[in-house]
Amino acid sequence: MQVGFIGIGTMGGGMAMNVRKVGYDLIVHDLRRESAQALESAGATWASDVADLGRACDVVFTSLPGPAEVEAVALASGGLLATMKPGSAWFDLTTNSPQLLHRLGPMFEQKGVQFMDAPVSGGPAGARSGKLALYIGGDRATFDRHKALLDAIGDQAMYVGPLAAGTIAKLTHNCASFGIRMVIAEVFSLGVKAGVEPLALWQAMRQGVTGRRRTFDGVGEQFLQNRYEPAAFALKLAHKDMMLALDLAHDCEVPMPMAQRAFEDFTAALARGWGDQDSRSPMRLQLERAGVRIEESADDVRKTLARD
């Protein structure tokens, strides 16, 4: 099987090298020929353009800066749509636009090429070490057929759903991650300004219930099941704690816009009579605003956790 890799920069270079290390025949292309030096030394072949690579390969990976670059590689004269052969597969590792994926999908399907979105999470260090999550969207049979190749790139290659499902999962993950960072910045600024030494505060937070567990594990217990009783920690107690923290922030003149917004939802939930339900119950307010209902069985939640 001939494998191609387009985009061998900070992320792509490490991923492509791991493909080569496990013995796949590899053709590479990038705007900068010098990016390929290490890969060529490891036995990869340089393609002078996208067209040469597309014609030669059974599977193509792209790792590009964003949607504009993906669209250009796909649709330009001599791009992947024009050159890939029927029966081949394209896995786009770029964090991309779902709208673009849905537009490109039917074009490649008509050509007989399986187009798969496969954004990754783990950063440059993960790209080099192979400690990466790959969120795959597209044809399930194509995912299964190429699972061993995907495992050369990352240790958590998971099928998420139809085309664009992987990208939606990646965007959801990253937006949560960046939002959580800003909440952490808020509470650390409060704790330090209120008089706690930063490393001591960090250690204390890491030893609390949230600090001791993976960030998203707790989502399965009540939120995904739409079941907020019996309470692990009652909303009325959480509301009291948030009020005390915001009072402290007021005394210390520390702005806390994200915490204040969360407190407003906690107050609204308390007004609905949810005080004895779990402190996650205000999460339902956002589902109502979005017009979304989530209600998974406890059994299915346990099975999903067991996949790790």
pLDDT in tens, 71-110: 999 999 999 999 999 999 999 999 999 999 999 999 999 9
Tell me whether residue 113 is in a domain: yes
Tell me whether residue 234 is in a domain: yes
Measured CA distances, 159 to 103, 116, 259 (Å): 21, 10, 35
The span from the CA of 244 to the CA of 253, in Å, is 14
**Cα-flanking dihedrals φ and ψ of residue 116, to 5°?**
-125, 135
The β-bridge relationship of strands 59-62 and 89-92 is parallel
The span from the CA of 258 to the CA of 242, in Å, is 12
CATH number of the domain encompassing residue 33: 3.40.50.720
The span from the CA of 288 to the CA of 291, in Å, is 5
Which pLDDT belongs to residue 212? 87
Tell me whether residue 205 is in a domain: no
Burial of 278 (0-12, 13-18, 19+ CB in 10 A): buried
Mean pLDDT of the chain: 96
Burial of 6 (0-12, 13-18, 19+ CB in 10 A): buried
Do residues 224 and 157 share a domain?
Answer: no
How is residue 218 annotated by DSSP?
G
Q: What is the dihedral of CA 74, 78, 82, 85, to 10 degrees?
A: -100
Tell me whether residue 154 is in a domain: yes
Q: What domain range is 101 assigned to?
A: 2-169
Which pLDDT belongs to residue 161? 98
Do residues 108 and 217 share a domain?
Answer: no
What does the pLDDT average to over 221-250? 95
pLDDT in tens, 257-308: 999 999 999 999 999 999 999 999 999 999 999 999 999 999 999 998 888 7
**What token pair was written down for 125?**
């260090």
Do residues 152 and 19 share a domain?
Answer: yes
Closest CA to 215 of 186, 183, 191, 259: 183
pLDDT in tens, 41-52: 999 999 999 999
Q: Is the pLDDT of residue 114 over 90?
A: yes
CATH number of the domain encompassing residue 282: 1.10.1040.10
Tell me whether residue 299 is in a domain: yes
Do residues 231 and 96 share a domain?
Answer: no
Cis peptide before 230 (omega within 30 of 0): yes
Q: Which residues contact 153 (CB under 8 A, 6 or more apart)?
A: 15, 18, 19, 61, 93, 120, 130, 132, 134
pLDDT in tens, 6-23: 999 999 999 999 999 999
pLDDT in tens, 141-182: 999 999 999 999 999 999 999 999 999 999 999 999 999 999
Contact 96, 66 (CB under 8 A): yes
Tell me whether residue 98 is in a domain: yes
**Cα-Cα-Cα-Cα dihedral sign, residues 188, 193, 198, 204:** negative
Residue 91 pairs in a beta bridge with 61, 116
State the maximum Cα–Cα separation within the chain, in Å, rounded to a whole number: 67
pLDDT in tens, 43-79: 999 999 999 999 999 999 999 999 999 999 999 999 9
pTM of the predicted model over 0.85: yes
C-alpha 124 chain-centroid distance = 14
Contact 268, 282 (CB under 8 A): yes
DSSP string across 226-245:
T---S-SSBHHHHHHHHHHH
Neighbours of 192 (CB within 10 A): 15
Which pLDDT belongs to residue 221? 86
Do residues 18 and 164 share a domain?
Answer: yes
Query: Per-residue confidence at 126, pLDDT binned at 50, 70, 90?
Result: very high
Closest CA to 128 of 262, 35, 10, 236: 10
